[in-house]
Amino acid sequence: MAIQANSVSDAFTQMKALLSSVVPEAELRIKAELVYEILKKKDERGAIILGHNYMEPALFHTVPDLVGDSLGLSQAAAKTDRNPIVFCGVKFMAETAKILSPEKTVLLPAKEAGCSLAAAITAQDVLDLKEMFPGAPVITYVNTYADVKAVTDICCTSSNASQVMRSIDSRQALFLPDEYLSSNVARELGKSIAIAFRGPNGSLEIEGDPAADIIGWRGRCEVHEQFTVDDIANARKQFPDVAVISHPECTPEVVAASDYAGSTTKLVEYVKKSHSKRFLILTECSMGDNIIAENPDKDILRLCSVRCPHMNQITLEDTLHALQADEQLIELPEDIRKAAYRSVERMIQIGPQKD
């Protein structure tokens, strides 16, 4: 996937051919120098660069050896024997790579690249929920930190959430921490859901019937919660032929009003395969640019005020710096890593959802 360049001007020529529809030429010229330096350093060190679908176009289309969604990148991280792994994504993703490859150096090219979902729940929240719902298995979205994964039974991503839920042999399950992903799964599987949260005095409270099939958690993605059914109605009014596709971190109302919902990779594939010519893509806005660059014959409408501030922390400058100075090193206590490994590995065994 990464480009092969033997000089800065070679890198620039290739980047221009790939990206001139989405990145101004002056910016490409500056970034070509960084890209060339990163490619050289990567080869020198025998490193592998993994890039999430939300990386900005000049990074996404140039330096990663593998690009994809959370599940694809977790699997890639598990299989690679190259070292170090440079994870161009947010911290929970780099932690997943470390969970699966403890003997390797894992680098995150940003000082802070968080996630509002990962920040929404702590290991203590999960332990308190387990006490409240004894015996209910715990499924956690991979958008959580290692200590949270360590106290759960199985992880899931947006591309296998329903499949993981179906694999659970229990009347009731905890599905944490994304309120909307769990509600979308409940809707798809015809299950009832109640949402747990911390009340003002810190005690656990439940909105809905505590006997519901699924107990979710009040965590939300700060990007996807911003999309509304009005955005969809307005786009359909102006462009009646538009295909609306959304990420399952959007509200159930937005997902229900969309033509298709899926993980970031599934949205990319949908655009490639669809006969529609025009799309509204309700997800992080760099992915829209990445799709435009690969599908010049399609018209992509975007609501581009919604860049993930955490994904936005990952830059070409910091990717180069990470490779040069081994920064930021991801490290995990071994007992937490081992316990988290079990939950991630169980998910990987289940694999992606069959549509």
Q: Which of 255, 260, 266, 264 has its CA nearest to residue 183?
A: 255
**What separation in angstroms does the CA of 270 have from each of 1, 166, 221, 225?**
20, 24, 22, 22
**Residue 189: Cβ-neighbour burial (10 angstroms; 0-12, 13-18, 19+):** middle
Q: Which of 283, 277, 242, 241 has its CA nearest to residue 261?
A: 283
Sheet holding 173-176, edge to edge: 154-156, 138-141, 173-176, 214-217, 193-198, 204-207
In the complex, least distance from residue 120 CB atom to ligand SF4, rounded to whole angstroms: 10
Site map 263..302 versus ligand SF4, x via CB under 6 A: ---------------------x------------------
In the complex, least distance from residue 264 CB atom to ligand 13P, rounded to whole angstroms: 4
In the complex, least distance from residue 39 CB atom to ligand SF4, rounded to whole angstroms: 26
Site for ligand SF4 in 308-347 (CB under 6 A): 308, 310-311
- Size of the residue set binding ligand 13P (CB under 6 A): 11
Confirm or reject binding of residue 116 to ligand 13P (CB under 6 A): no
Q: Which residues 6+ apart lie within 8 Å of 9 measured at CB?
A: 32
Q: Which residue is nearest to ligand 13P (CB)?
A: 69
Please identify, using beta-carbon distances, which residue of 28 and 118 lies nearer to ligand 13P. 118
Residue 264 contacts which entry, ligand 13P, ligand SF4, none (Cβ below 5-8 A, type-dependent): ligand 13P
Confirm or reject binding of residue 249 to ligand 13P (CB under 6 A): yes
Asked if residue 263 lies in contact with residue 156, where contact means CB atoms within 8 angstroms, the answer is no
Please identify, using beta-carbon distances, which residue of 153 and 249 lies nearer to ligand SF4. 249
Confirm or reject binding of residue 69 to ligand 13P (CB under 6 A): yes
Site map 71..110 versus ligand 13P, x via CB under 6 A: ----------------------------------------
Confirm or reject binding of residue 165 to ligand 13P (CB under 6 A): no
Confirm or reject binding of residue 116 to ligand SF4 (CB under 6 A): yes
Among 94, 193, 223, 291, binds ligand SF4 (CB under 6 A): 223
**What separation in angstroms does the CA of 159 have from each of 45, 126, 201, 247, 348?**
32, 23, 36, 10, 11
In the complex, least distance from residue 247 CB atom to ligand 13P, rounded to whole angstroms: 6
Are β-strands 204-207 and 193-198 bridged in parallel, bridged antiparallel, or unpaired? antiparallel
Asked if residue 96 lies in contact with residue 72, where contact means CB atoms within 8 angstroms, the answer is no
In the complex, least distance from residue 272 CB atom to ligand 13P, rounded to whole angstroms: 16
Residues in the chain: 355
In the complex, least distance from residue 269 CB atom to ligand 13P, rounded to whole angstroms: 12
Q: What are phi and psi of 135, to 5 degrees?
A: 90, -15
Confirm or reject binding of residue 179 to ligand 13P (CB under 6 A): no
**Residue 203: Cβ-neighbour burial (10 angstroms; 0-12, 13-18, 19+):** exposed
Please identify, using beta-carbon distances, which residue of 95 and 284 lies nearer to ligand SF4. 284
CA angle, 177 then 258 then 193, to 5°: 35
Distance in angstroms (rounded) separating the CA atoms of residues 70 and 348: 11
In the complex, least distance from residue 135 CB atom to ligand SF4, rounded to whole angstroms: 29
Q: Which residues bind ligand 13P (CB under 6 A)?
A: 53, 69-70, 143, 157-158, 221, 247, 249, 263-264
